[in-house]
Chain A
Amino acid sequence: MNLLENIVGATKEIFETMIMMEITPGDALSESVTEFKGSISGVIGLAGSCKGMLAIHLPDSVAMSITSNFLGMDVDEVNDDVTDAIGELANMLAGNIKMVLDVAGNKVTLSIPSCIHGEEYTMGCVSDADWVVVPFDTNAGQFLVELQLQCND
């Protein structure tokens, strides 16, 4: 199960078809990022024969830019439109990953997304699941997609 390929594939597809924004994937990070400032994180859980968590972490400005593209309207502050959009983005990415996992013979269902916004927060998973963090560049800045996953053998 190549987590990296799946994340890159899922993210590119969502951005090309739903958000209409160019993104460039970077190399998977060798260390998890857990500290965030002036940022938003959309998270959603995966459960079933695989369990895990998908998160998308974006600085405020990148989140606003993505929301503007997604909703087709200008957004200049982090309001409910932005947090709903980022929660929905996490939902769509996880949905894509779920499909890939199910095709590979797993049975995965998604929880509901939550969105965190703060001036300064840390966020980390409490488990020894496999994890991958991939940075993506956009013309508004960089965001990260993080997937933690543990599958039953």
Chain B
Amino acid sequence: MDLDLQKQIIDSTQAVFDSMLMIPITTGAILSEKVYTFQTSISGMLGFAGDVQGMLTIHCPQNVAFTITTALLGVDIDTVDDDVKDTIGELANMVLGGIKDGFVEQGIQINLAIPTVLAGRSYRISGMDDASWTTVPFHLNEGDFLVELKLKTNK
């Protein structure tokens, strides 16, 4: 099995932003070091399991989350409220949904869990280090957001 995780992440994220959000984004270089700590940010996490298991997380600084929420809901947003959290959770759902379709083309089946949204002044996320991880930054006017995919194959 040869999953090009970087390509899966980019294809799915671009598709969501082009078709659902209509926000232009550019893709950055895949990160060589994990980012663990986040300030004034929102992270949408969604686990998955099946032929492989893992977790997709989208990390957004507050302003980027506001921009995305405004684009999706068509209302001005300036506080981290339920609308923002629901949007980031839904974003994780949509991006992972696209990745799931990409996996199916490679013969890999996965099922999605339900999204959890984390927000805070300062938090650190760590996962079990025996999973492979791929993080791609995406750039829009207000800043960058990260899409991180952690994956573990069954032995």
| Chain B 111-140 interface residues, beta-carbon cutoff 8 Å to A | 111-128, 131
Considering the chains assembled together, what is the distance between the CA atoms of A123 and B117 in angstroms? Answer: 6
- How many interface residues does chain A have, given as a range? 35 or more
What are the residues of chain B within 8 A of A88 when measuring CB–CB?
Answer: 128
A118 x B123 contact (CB < 8 A): yes
From A52, A111, A115, A121, give the contact of B120 (CB < 8 A): A121
**Interface 1/0 per residue, B8-51 and A, CB below 8 Å:** 00000000000000000000000000000000000011111110
Assuming the contacts A125-B116, A150-B114, asked whether A115 and B127 have C-beta atoms less than 8 A apart, the reply is yes
Assuming the contacts A48-B111, A123-B118, asked whether A116 and B48 have C-beta atoms less than 8 A apart, the reply is no
Of B85, B113, B152, most buried by chain A (CB within 10 Å of CB) is B113
Of A88, A122, A150, most buried by chain B (CB within 10 Å of CB) is A122
Of B46, B49, B86, B128, most buried by chain A (CB within 10 Å of CB) is B49
From B85, B86, B117, B152, give the contact of A112 (CB < 8 A): B152
| Chain A 31-87 interface residues, beta-carbon cutoff 8 Å to B | 43-48, 51-53, 55, 80, 83-84, 87
A45 x B49 contact (CB < 8 A): yes
A112 x B124 contact (CB < 8 A): no
Considering the chains assembled together, what is the distance between the CA atoms of A120 and B110 in angstroms? Answer: 33
| Chain B 71-118 interface residues, beta-carbon cutoff 8 Å to A | 85-86, 89-90, 110-118
B80, closest chain A residue (CB): A122
CB distance from B89 to the nearest CB of A (A): 3
A116 x B114 contact (CB < 8 A): no
Q: Is B147 at the interface (CB under 8 A from chain A)? A: no
B123 x A121 contact (CB < 8 A): yes
Q: Is B64 at the interface (CB under 8 A from chain A)? A: no
User: Considering the complex of A and B, which 3 residue pairs feature the smallest CB-CB distances, nearest first?
Assistant: A45-B47, A111-B47, A45-B113
- Given contact pairs A48-B111, A117-B124, A150-B114, a sample of 4 additional A-B residue pairs in the complex whose CB atoms are under 8 Å apart: A45-B49, A113-B128, A125-B114, A125-B117
| B positions within 8 Å CB-CB of A | 44-50, 53-55, 57, 85-86, 89-90, 110-128, 131, 150, 152
A-B contact pairs, 9 of them (CB 8 A): A45-B112, A47-B110, A53-B47, A87-B127, A109-B53, A116-B125, A118-B121, A123-B118, A126-B86
